[in-house]
Amino acid sequence: MITFEDVVKVYRGGATAVDHLSLELPTGKLTVLVGPSGCGKTTSLRMINRMIAPTSGRILIDGKDVAEQDEALLRRSIGYVIQHAGLFPHRTVLDNVATVPVLLGKTRREARAAAYQLMERVGLSAEFAKRYPAQLSGGQQQRVGVARALAADPPIMLMDEPFSAVDPVVRSQLQAEFLRLQQELGKTIVMVTHDIDEAIKLGDHVAVFRAGGRLAQFATPRELLAEPADDFVASFVGRDRGLRSLSFDSATDLPVRPVEGIPLDDAGRPLGLPGVFTKDDSLRVVTDLVISSPGGIAVRVGPDGAADGQVSHHDLADYLASRRR
């Protein structure tokens, strides 16, 4: 657990970056710090590994004040990923990944062997091992950055806008892979972003900051969408939060009608339909399908791809209305 105890950071010149922040970031969870620029989210992140010292207050990791620990040793126990990856240009991908294990006293050979495994873990084939960062795309560099942060298997990872320097397609790919990775690893992750959608998509918890370094709300993404603490949070979260909150509910309990009037192939799979949904998809996916299909109907398929039910505009509206009661 990472604890902020009444932390204040005032920069020289008097600008308050973080204003009396008290916060508990749970172990094994991904907490996203989000807010407009100048809201103190990055400053807060960097105070955890002592890249920035607080003006007052304490930051504790599992009850131990970080200020009382050796800086370098503390940092080696905390993974760190930044926006443009910040890879070492003079080292191969493999040696970039092996950085922290070597610092911790592992032999180069041991560290490299472990680095190969990590590269595989983040989806980089071994052929990249001998390349230099300049020979990689932005997305690949970011994967190396994540592998490098994970190399010493730190219990905590700090990520500062890790996916914002890559194009949207690569970004959502990296996000999805990262979520999968986190499900396996269960690290305590603190991530900074200015993108509320990313925060809601990735975070187990989201801390919304407002300008001046004040915490506006700390909640799960679902709570944030359903009950924003004030107007600032509501406007920051965005206008279509009702629709977006549907992405947290699966279509498992959504009643369907028998399939009717839809062309099927021999195996019972719907023909010529752009999109179908399964029980595991979210209500947001279903809503989108219902709205975008010409007939106002979404078709549900089973694991084998065969149609096993359909939902109309009205069915969906009734179901959503019934959930409100």
Partner 1 sequence: MIQYLTNNSEIVWQALQEHLYLALVPILLGFAISLPLGYLAVRFDWLYHPLINTFGVLYSIPSLALFVFLPVILGTKVLSPINVVVALTIYTVALLARTVADGLRAVDPVVVQAATAMGYRRSRRLIDVELPIALPVILAGLRVATVSNISLVSVGSLIGIGGLGQLFTRGFQLFYLEPILIGVILSVLLAGIADLIIVLVQRAITPWTRAA
- Does the footprint of partner 1 cover residue 205 (CB under 8 A)? no
- Does the footprint of partner 1 cover residue 316 (CB under 8 A)? no
# binding residues, partner 1 (CB under 8 A) = 27
What is the C-alpha to C-alpha distance for residues 4 and 156, in angstroms, rounded to an integer?
A: 15
In the complex, minimum distance from the CB of residue 188 to partner 1, in angstroms, rounded to a whole number? 16
Measured from the CB atom, the residue of 68 and 266 that comes closer to partner 1 is 68
In the complex, minimum distance from the CB of residue 136 to partner 1, in angstroms, rounded to a whole number? 10
What is the C-alpha to C-alpha distance for residues 184 and 180, in angstroms, rounded to an integer?
A: 7
CB distance 129 to 161 below 8 Å: no
- Does the footprint of partner 1 cover residue 23 (CB under 8 A)? no
What is the C-alpha to C-alpha distance for residues 141 and 138, in angstroms, rounded to an integer?
A: 5
Measured from the CB atom, the residue of 108 and 257 that comes closer to partner 1 is 108
Pick the piece of the chain touching partner 1 (CB under 8 A) from 3-11, 69-77, 214-222, 273-281: 69-77
* Helices (H), ranges, the chain: 41-48, 71-76, 93-97, 99-103, 108-121, 138-150, 168-185, 196-202, 221-226, 231-237, 241-245, 283-292, 313-324
Measured from the CB atom, the residue of 23 and 103 that comes closer to partner 1 is 103
- Does the footprint of partner 1 cover residue 234 (CB under 8 A)? no
- Does the footprint of partner 1 cover residue 135 (CB under 8 A)? yes
Site of tokens 């679902």 = 222
- Does the footprint of partner 1 cover residue 99 (CB under 8 A)? yes
In the complex, minimum distance from the CB of residue 234 to partner 1, in angstroms, rounded to a whole number? 35
Among 23, 51, 165, 181, binds partner 1 (CB under 8 A): 51
In the complex, minimum distance from the CB of residue 302 to partner 1, in angstroms, rounded to a whole number? 48
Among 15, 53, 73, 211, binds partner 1 (CB under 8 A): 73
CB distance 91 to 41 below 8 Å: no
- Does the footprint of partner 1 cover residue 214 (CB under 8 A)? no
In the complex, minimum distance from the CB of residue 36 to partner 1, in angstroms, rounded to a whole number? 22
| Residue 229 φ/ψ, nearest 5 degrees | -65, -35
Among 75, 112, 187, 205, binds partner 1 (CB under 8 A): 75
What is the C-alpha to C-alpha distance for residues 258 and 308, in angstroms, rounded to an integer?
A: 7
Going along 43-87, which residue ranges are E strands? 56-61, 64-65, 78-81
35 to each of 166, 171, 216, 244, 319, how far by Cα in Å?
20, 19, 9, 18, 34
- Does the footprint of partner 1 cover residue 91 (CB under 8 A)? yes
Q: Tell me which residue of 154, 9, 165, 148 sits closest to 84, measured CA to CA.
A: 165
What is the C-alpha to C-alpha distance for residues 241 and 225, in angstroms, rounded to an integer?
A: 5
In the complex, minimum distance from the CB of residue 281 to partner 1, in angstroms, rounded to a whole number? 39
Pick the piece of the chain touching partner 1 (CB under 8 A) from 76-84, 202-210, 223-231, 305-313: 76-84
Contact set with partner 1 (CB under 8 A): 49, 51, 72-77, 80, 82, 84, 86-92, 99-100, 103, 131-132, 134-135, 148, 158
